[in-house]
Amino acid sequence: MNAVAWRAAIFVLLLVLLVLAEWRWPRHQGNPDRRHRWPVNLGFGLVGALCLRLLLPWLAIDAALWAQQHHVGLLHLWTLPSWLAIVVTLMALDLLIYAQHRLMHRVGWLWRLHRLHHSDLTLDASSAMRFHPLEILFSMGLKIAAVLALGAAPAAVLAFEILLNGFAMFTHANLALPLGLDRALRWVVVTPDMHRIHHSVLRDEHDSNFGFNLSWWDWLFRSYRDAPRQPQATLRLGLDRFRDNREQRFGALMLQPFRRR
């Protein structure tokens, strides 16, 4: 199988496993309006993937293949063991996504793109696909630039993309981990409870916990928040400006960045 097929197969497998886990160990009891939310969220995932294929000449993996063939990038200037080059690539790209995420909350026009993701009124694995296609294109452009600058190996880029997709679904999952396990995992990776705080309706809470994979960046750059004001099981999510049912329709969400409101 090629890289796209591998990513798709792993994506579907993880989605199925997380849906089963959400059913067995839910953090929030019930999932309001799943019949509406899932088509909308999956629809954004599909549109984003199509835009990447149709509007960009390269994806990050293509940039890595080109850099490898032409010996472009910083990692081609040093002789590093393959495993260390992969670790450097994974950490550098994860830091990039953390920085991008903070930028999406700080810069007005980027927030207008990103707020679609935050307008989901509840969280589950499908929320990981709820991104505006323009944000998807912007993010891929940054990853391509970083891959070329690093000279990242194709295998490392493929591994990062799989980890990014997998952790996005995991951290958005409506999943209640045992407290001890959650606390232990947070020393290294982002957990569902940690990321759920980031989706709180309160501004100071959703301007925290920006990490996607590694939790270290939030600790290091002082954006980590340990717990929300409300209990996790009753935490109010989303954005007050977009709670009306009409605002949750696919068309309204797609046009949301271009509205003055």
Tens-digit pLDDT string for the chain (261 aa):
566 677 788 888 999 999 999 999 999 876 657 788 999 999 999 999 999 999 998 999 999 999 999 999 999 998 889 999 999 999 999 999 999 999 999 999 999 999 999 999 999 999 999 999 999 999 999 999 999 999 999 999 999 999 999 999 999 999 999 999 999 999 999 999 999 999 999 999 999 999 999 999 999 999 999 999 999 988 999 999 999 989 999 999 999 999 866
Question: How confident is the model at residue 178, as a pLDDT?
Answer: 95
Q: Looking at the chain, which runs of residues are DSSP E strands?
A: none
- Helix, strand, coil tally for the chain in percent (to 5): 70, 0, 30
Q: Do residues 124 and 32 make contact, with C-beta atoms less than 8 angstroms apart?
A: no
- And the tokens for 100? 């991008």
User: Phi, psi at residue 97, to the nearest 5°?
Assistant: -65, -35
Sign of torsion over alpha carbons 186, 192, 196, 199: positive
Q: What would you measure as the largest C-alpha separation in the chain, in angstroms?
A: 56
What is the distance between the alpha carbons of residues 257 and 261, in angstroms, rounded to a whole number?
9
Residue 215 has a CB neighbour count (10 Å cut-off) of 21
Q: Do residues 75 and 151 make contact, with C-beta atoms less than 8 angstroms apart?
A: yes
| pTM, 2 dp | 0.93
Q: How far is CA 5 from the centre of its chain?
A: 20
Structural domain of 63? 3-22+31-258
What is the distance between the alpha carbons of residues 225 and 79, in angstroms, rounded to a whole number?
39
Question: How confident is the model at residue 31, as a pLDDT?
Answer: 61
Based on the structure, what is the number of domains in the chain?
1
